[in-house]
């Protein structure tokens, strides 16, 4: 029997997640959204693409969280998208209300289901989902570092003129302007980029990575990124559903690691069938650790101000 993933939010990111999940033949998919007819229409459209794209999974759309029952994983993409000039934190008030509503629906219909958060501001929304859920902290996590690392890899490959498959990267911290790219842990063909690219160019690439989402928002003018966020989300879903024990960066709960407590922030983790199975503490230089702690501090301050 195939496993099932529910995607909450049938906008661009949610629909792309549903598409990539279906095309991977990874699981059956439920697409849930409050907009009447939209999840049903997109689900039917995706079903009709199956014979051409070669997938054979069940896809249903619904306005009712009852459709999420029996899911192995809930992916939350619901929320308003950023507009030009808007930071992820600007989204906070509206998206917190949306998250509270989503969690009420999840708790009523599938309270013991693992949760993967994609909604922005990511690290705060992940904390809120866990705060409102009935799940242990290792079973709730956010998709941040995978996307940020993927962007870093892409820009490094562009700089080097090499295949993106030859690059690996690690980006820690919050999914926002305070993220912490780690050039020492970023490689091309196994060689650290600090041996291949000048510091000036590395700094420029790291900054472009921090601005990666904003750059796309500025170009689109009426929306935000969705292909890369969805692809990154499905990579994490695959790690959970197939118990791959994949090491990647995710927004995870910290309880003393890196000198941080009671906050979700992007760190290297092992992701498998039990969710975040281990948080890895890298040996960071003083400046890197300070940058990570500063990034976490931004979100901890926001978290502490949230209504209960």
Same domain as 151, residue 137: no
Determine if the pTM surpasses 0.75. yes
CATH code for position 253: 3.90.110.10
Q: What distance lies between CA 253 and its chain's CA centroid?
A: 14
Same domain as 251, residue 169: yes
- Which residues, 6 or more positions from 286, have their beta carbon under 8 angstroms from its beta carbon? none
Same domain as 163, residue 88: no
Task: Name the domain boundary from 124, 142, 160.
Answer: 142
Same domain as 245, residue 167: yes
How far apart, in whole angstroms, are the C-alpha atoms of residue 62 and residue 2? 20
pLDDT attached to residue 82: 67
Number of domains present in the structure of the chain: 2
Q: Please give the helix or strand (H or E) that residue 43 lies within, else none.
A: helix 38-53
Task: Name the domain boundary from 142, 166, 183.
Answer: 142
Environment class of 137 (CB within 10 Å of its CB; exposed 0-12, middle 13-18, buried 19+): middle
The residues annotated as belonging to the active site are 175
Same domain as 101, residue 20: yes
Q: What is the pLDDT of residues 52-87, one digit of tens each?
A: 999 999 999 999 999 999 999 999 999 987 667 766
Task: Name the domain boundary from 84, 114, 142.
Answer: 142
pLDDT per residue of the chain (308 residues) written in tens, 0 to 9: 899 999 999 999 999 999 999 999 999 999 999 999 999 999 999 999 999 999 999 999 999 999 999 999 999 999 987 667 766 567 788 899 999 999 999 999 999 999 999 998 899 999 999 999 989 999 999 998 999 999 999 999 999 999 999 999 999 999 888 899 999 999 999 999 999 999 999 999 999 999 999 999 999 988 899 999 999 999 999 999 999 999 999 999 999 999 999 999 999 999 999 999 999 999 999 999 999 999 999 999 989 888 87
Domain span including residue 278: 145-304
- CA 226, 294, 213 angle in degrees (round to 5)? 15
Same domain as 292, residue 151: yes
CATH code for position 86: 3.40.50.720
- Which residues, 6 or more positions from 268, have their beta carbon under 8 angstroms from its beta carbon? 145, 170, 172, 247, 248, 249, 279, 280, 282
Same domain as 291, residue 255: yes
Same domain as 29, residue 133: yes
């Amino acid at each position: 029997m195939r496993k099932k993933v529910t995607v909450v939010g049938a906008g661009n990111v949610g629909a792309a997640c549903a598409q990539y999940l279906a095309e991977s033949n990874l699981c059956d998919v439920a697409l849930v959204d409050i907009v009447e007819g939209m999840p049903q229409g997109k689900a039917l459209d995706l079903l009709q693409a199956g014979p051409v794209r070669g997938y054979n999974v069940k896809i249903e759309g619904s306005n009712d969280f009852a459709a999420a029952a029996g899911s192995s994983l809930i992916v939350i993409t619901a929320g308003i998208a950023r507009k030009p000039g808007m930071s992820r934190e600007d989204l906070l008030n509206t998206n917190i209300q949306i998250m509270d509503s989503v969690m009420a629906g999840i708790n009523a219909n599938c309270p013991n289901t693992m949760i993967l958060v994609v909604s922005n501001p990511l690290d705060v929304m992940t904390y809120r989902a866990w705060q409102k859920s009935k799940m242990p902290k290792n079973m709730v996590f956010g998709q941040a570092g995978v996307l940020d690392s993927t962007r870093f890899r892409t820009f490094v490959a562009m700089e080097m003129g090499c295949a993106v498959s030859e690059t690996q990267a690690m980006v820690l911290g919050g999914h926002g302007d305070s993220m912490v790219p780690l050039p020492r842990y970023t490689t091309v063909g196994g060689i650290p980029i600090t041996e291949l690219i000048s510091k000036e160019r590395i700094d420029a690439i790291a900054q472009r990575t921090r601005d990666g989402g904003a750059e796309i928002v500025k170009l689109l003018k009426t929306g935000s990124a969705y292909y890369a966020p969805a692809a990154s989300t499905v990579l994490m879903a695959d790690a959970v559903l197939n118990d791959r024990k994949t090491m990647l960066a995710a927004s995870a709960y910290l309880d003393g690691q890196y000198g941080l407590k009671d906050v979700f922030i992007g760190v290297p983790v092992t992701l498998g069938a039990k969710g975040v199975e281990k948080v890895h503490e890298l040996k960071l230089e003083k400046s890197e650790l300070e940058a990570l702690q500063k990034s976490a501090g931004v979100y901890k301050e926001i978290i502490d101000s949230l209504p209960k």
